[in-house]
């Protein structure tokens, strides 16, 4: 394809009204995307001229047929056909141009009135932000920094766990299997979240370890600036009145030492760790104030979302669905490219587009293209071809409709409750009165085969671990309870403790978990339950466990696991804790479930082990 031919075809198409451009480009992109996704399947390389949809949406539109010819399609009797073995370079170029024209047409239908004059200053600032982030990620390629990261990563341990999980993975029909590197990424995420990096809402006093309160921003020192900390937060100890500063370091090497911060520090350091162990990684900046990482999966042949703050992988709808964020601009930066990845993270592209008012879409596309040309000019032609093919496949993903997957509806986990509420990033699909209901555990195929159900919960990580089902995890204490009334998870940063308790001001509260084995053909052979709880003053906690035949037993709530032989032969378990009592304004705090250290990630104060037998 001569470049002029493709440009002419696009120019003719965009001479139509915005509504016509949107409709025709939608179908043209569908033809292109089908070929890109399935290059060896012949039916996707052929378009029947007599097709009613084609006759209505392509034939009458000026420039539409010309776009297909520019892609490489040729007349073949009653069809337009893309010859087998033909290069897809032309098709990918047209795909990219059509996607850009769709953005501009959508902007026009939304009603943006973005004049060049009014946006010139804004676009200069916008470009500077893009360039700054694009330059920053070059630091991740520093061999010495990568070695410093490898020195602190327990690679052999993580690699061994990854290999074991890869060998034992369960695979659904039609699902592309994960490889060992995919599992290594999951292990790296877990290690980083639970054992390496910590979250700082406000720093502890370095003299008496007391709590501190904010005093605003301070001037950075020369040493702060050396490590990229142009922002320095000031705090004062509420106990000894000592002044404390919290530099927001932007140098990943320094973060390997401090191992703490908020989302900026987390994603910055984690992306370096990914590069250090050989992953292709991109640092993603969300203009609405969040950052994370994307890693390229060789087995899946796509970029995968990874949020080290939350220990979640491949949950791109998390921010829009779970946190309720009003997204606008999201860019991924690597040593090879800058990519506008906004469309991976939204199921509502027109809503996102309506909030993109800082620059013109055509200016943004052109600016990113120029940045990438500069960055890729020294790359080998074979590598540029790989990046081009990936970009076209990624564009297919961006243009596809999105479905919310399991775990993408959860609220934010990282940060204090007050901080999450202030940012509007707590769970949106939960009633505001704190009541949850109806989750019931059923046996998986692995558990049926092993005749074992083993569940753990740790409030420090705020995660349930299904030990008997390949250690699968469920985030958030309320994600897997049967009923819950007036319960909250409480973090005490002064004492560095965490637990479940009544909501403030609530005289009573209750929580329960339910396991139902009825459809498995198995019954309980033996069950042990550890449900640690503590009371203070006149607080009272009553633990009750019942089987399906209305046999109920009270538990002590002590630190040791208790065997409950009365449930032998039952087909279900319903475990309930009722909280009441206490004195004064903090009565709610006098009944605590699963109290433990904030950083004690390897202790499980709640654990249920059920051995099963044939009925």
Q: Which of 122-136, 145-159, 326-340, 479-493 has the lowest mean pLDDT?
A: 479-493
Q: Between vectors from CA 61 to CA 56 and to CA 62, what angle results, nearest 5°?
A: 160
- Which positions ≥6 away from 120 have C-beta within 8 Å? none
Average pLDDT over the chain reads 89
| Separation CA 59–CA 49 (nearest Å) | 9
User: pLDDT of 206-237, one tens digit each?
Assistant: 999 888 999 999 999 999 999 999 999 999 99
Distance, CA of 601 to CA of 462 (rounded, Å): 10
Q: Which structure tokens are listed for 345?
A: 């993270």
Reported confidence tier of residue 429, pLDDT bands at 50, 70, 90: very low
Instruction: Indicate the helix (H) or strand (E) that contains 420.
Output: helix 417-422
Task: Give tens-digit pLDDT for 156-170.
Answer: 999 999 998 888 776
pLDDT at 1: 47
Cα separation, 282 vs 586, whole angstroms: 46
Name the pLDDT band for 418 (thresholds 50, 70, 90).
low
Residue 434 pLDDT more than 50? no
Q: Select from 579, 528, 536 the least CA-distant residue to 555.
A: 528
Reduced to 3 states, what is the DSSP secondary structure of residue 516?
A: strand
**pLDDT tens-digit readout, 442-467:** 999 889 999 999 999 999 888 899 99
Residues assigned a catalytic role: 263, 290, 307
DSSP 3-state of 591: strand
Q: What are 41's two structure tokens?
A: 């399947």
Average pLDDT over residues 589-603: 89
**Domain 115-168+176-198+262-429, CATH:** 3.10.620.30
∠82-87-92 over CA atoms, to 5°? 85
Cα–Cα dist 31/367, whole Å: 28
Mean pLDDT calculated for residue range 311-325 = 91
- In this model, does residue 285 exceed pLDDT 70? yes
Q: In a 10 Å sphere around its CB, with 0-12 CB exposed, 13-18 middle and 19+ buried, how is residue 258 labelled?
A: middle
CB 283 within 8 A of CB 334: yes
d(C-alpha 464, C-alpha 608), whole Å: 11
The rounded distance, in Å, linking the Cα atoms of 318 and 322 is 5
Nearest to 513 by CA among 538, 543, 541: 543
Range(s) within the chain of domains with CATH label 1.20.58.2190: 3-110
**Which of 452-456, 548-552, 565-569, 608-612 has the lowest average pLDDT?**
548-552
pLDDT of residue 478: 83
Q: What is the 3-state secondary structure (H, E, C) of 388-411?
A: HHHHHHHHHHHHCCCCCCCCCCCC
Task: Please classify residue 318 by burial: count the beta carbons closer than 10 Å to its beta carbon, then call 0-12 exposed, 13-18 middle and 19+ buried.
Answer: buried
| Residue range(s) of every CATH 3.10.620.30 domain in the chain | 115-168+176-198+262-429
Higher pLDDT residue, 53 or 401? 53
Question: Which positions ≥6 away from 369 have C-beta within 8 Å?
Answer: none
pLDDT in tens, 254-281: 999 999 999 999 999 999 999 999 999 9
Class of domain 430-614: mainly beta
Asked which of 106-120, 198-212, 305-319, 367-381 is least confident by mean pLDDT, the reply is: 106-120
Residue 172 has pLDDT above 70, yes or no: no
**CA-CA distance, 437 to 562, in Å (whole number)?**
26
Q: Is-contact 470 165, C-beta < 8 A?
A: yes
Q: Comparing C-alpha atoms, which of 405, 275, 293 is closest to residue 347?
A: 405
The span from the CA of 579 to the CA of 140, in Å, is 50
Q: pLDDT tens digits for 360-372?
A: 888 999 999 999 9
* CATH of span 201-258: 2.20.25.10
Q: In this structure, how many other beta carbons lie within 10 angstroms of the beta carbon of residue 433? A: 9
Average pLDDT over residues 277-302: 96
- Burial classification of residue 201, based on how many CB atoms lie within 10 Å of its CB (0-12 exposed, 13-18 middle, 19 or more buried): middle
Percent above pLDDT 70 for the chain: 92
Nearest to 289 by CA among 191, 419, 408, 401: 419
Phi, psi (degrees; rounded to nearest 5) at 435: -100, 135
Starting at the earlier edge strand, list the strands of the sheet with 79-81. 46-48, 79-81, 74-76
| CATH architecture group of domain 3-110 | Up-down Bundle (1.20)
Most confident of 36-40, 322-326, 496-500, 589-593: 589-593
Query: 3-13 vs 89-110: helix axis angle to the nearest 10?
Result: 30
- CA dist 462 and 170 (Å) reads 25
pLDDT at 424: 64
Where in the chain are all domains bearing CATH 2.60.120.1020?
A: 430-614
Higher pLDDT, 175 or 313: 313
What's the length of the chain?
615
- pLDDT tens-digit readout, 486-530: 898 887 766 778 999 998 778 999 999 999 998 898 999 999 999
Q: Where are the beta strands (DSSP E) in 179-247?
A: 198-199, 212-218, 232-237, 243-247
């Amino acid at each position: 394809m001569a470049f002029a031919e493709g440009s002419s075809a696009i120019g003719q198409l965009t001479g139509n009204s915005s509504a016509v451009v949107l409709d025709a480009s939608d179908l043209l992109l569908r033809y292109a995307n089908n070929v890109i996704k399935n290059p060896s399947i012949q039916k996707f390389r052929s378009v029947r001229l007599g097709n009613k949809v084609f006759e209505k949406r392509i034939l009458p539109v000026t420039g539409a047929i010309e776009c297909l010819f520019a892609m490489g399609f040729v007349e073949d009797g009653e069809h337009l056909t893309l010859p087998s073995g033909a290069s897809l370079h032309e098709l990918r170029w047209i795909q990219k141009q059509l996607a850009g024209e769709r953005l501009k047409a959508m902007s026009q239908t939304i009603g943006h009135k973005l004049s060049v004059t009014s946006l010139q200053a804004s676009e200069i600032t916008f470009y500077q932000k893009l360039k700054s982030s694009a330059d920053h990620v070059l630091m991740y390629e520093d061999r010495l920094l990568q070695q410093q990261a490898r020195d602190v990563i327990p690679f052999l341990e993580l690699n061994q766990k990854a290999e074991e999980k890869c060998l034992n993975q369960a695979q659904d029909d039609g699902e592309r299997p994960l490889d060992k590197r995919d599992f290594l990424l999951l292990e790296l995420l877990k290690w980083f979240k639970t054992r390496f990096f910590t979250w700082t809402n406000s720093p502890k006093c370095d003299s008496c370890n007391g709590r501190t309160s904010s005093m605003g921003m301070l001037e950075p020192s020369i040493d702060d600036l050396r490590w990229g900390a142009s922002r320095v937060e000031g705090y004062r100890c509420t106990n000894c009145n000592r002044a404390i500063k919290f530099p927001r370091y932007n140098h990943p090497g320094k973060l390997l030492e401090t191992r703490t911060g908020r989302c900026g520090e987390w994603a910055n350091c984690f992306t370096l760790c990914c590069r250090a162990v050989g992953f292709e990684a991109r640092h993603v900046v969300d203009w609405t104030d969040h950052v994370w990482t994307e890693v390229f999966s060789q087995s899946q042949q796509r970029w995968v979302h990874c949020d080290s703050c939350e220990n979640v992988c491949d949950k791109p709808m998390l921010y829009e669905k779970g946190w309720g964020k009003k997204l606008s601009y999201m860019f991924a930066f690597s040593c090879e490219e800058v990519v506008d990845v906004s469309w991976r993270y939204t199921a509502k592209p027109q809503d996102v587009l309506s909030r993109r008012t800082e620059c013109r879409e055509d200016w943004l596309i052109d600016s990113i293209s120029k940045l990438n040309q500069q960055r890729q000019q020294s790359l080998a032609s074979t590598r540029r071809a790989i990046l081009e093919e990936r970009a076209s496949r990624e564009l297919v993903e961006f243009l596809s409709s999105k479905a919310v997957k399991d775990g993408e509806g959860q609220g934010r986990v990282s940060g204090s409750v007050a901080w999450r509420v202030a940012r509007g990033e707590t769970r949106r699909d939960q009633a505001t009165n704190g009541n949850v209901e109806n989750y019931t555990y059923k046996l998986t195929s692995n558990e049926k085969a092993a005749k074992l159900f083993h569940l753990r919960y740790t409030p420090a990580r705020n995660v349930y671990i299904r030990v008997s089902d390949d250690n699968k995890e469920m985030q958030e204490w309320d994600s897997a309870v049967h009923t819950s009334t007036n319960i909250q998870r409480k973090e005490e940063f002064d004492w560095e403790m965490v637990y479940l308790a009544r909501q403030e001001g609530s005289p009573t509260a209750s929580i329960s978990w339910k396991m139902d084995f009825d459809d498995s053909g198995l019954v309980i052979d033996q069950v042990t339950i550890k449900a640690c709880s503590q009371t203070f003053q006149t607080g009272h906690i009553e633990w009750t466990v019942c089987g399906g035949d209305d046999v109920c037993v009270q538990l002590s709530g002590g630190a040791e696991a208790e065997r409950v032989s009365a449930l032998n032969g039952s087909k279900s378990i319903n475990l309930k804790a009722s909280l009441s009592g206490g004195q004064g304004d903090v009565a709610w705090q006098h009944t605590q479930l699963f109290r433990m250290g904030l950083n004690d990630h390897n202790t499980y104060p709640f654990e249920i082990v059920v051995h099963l037998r044939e009925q």
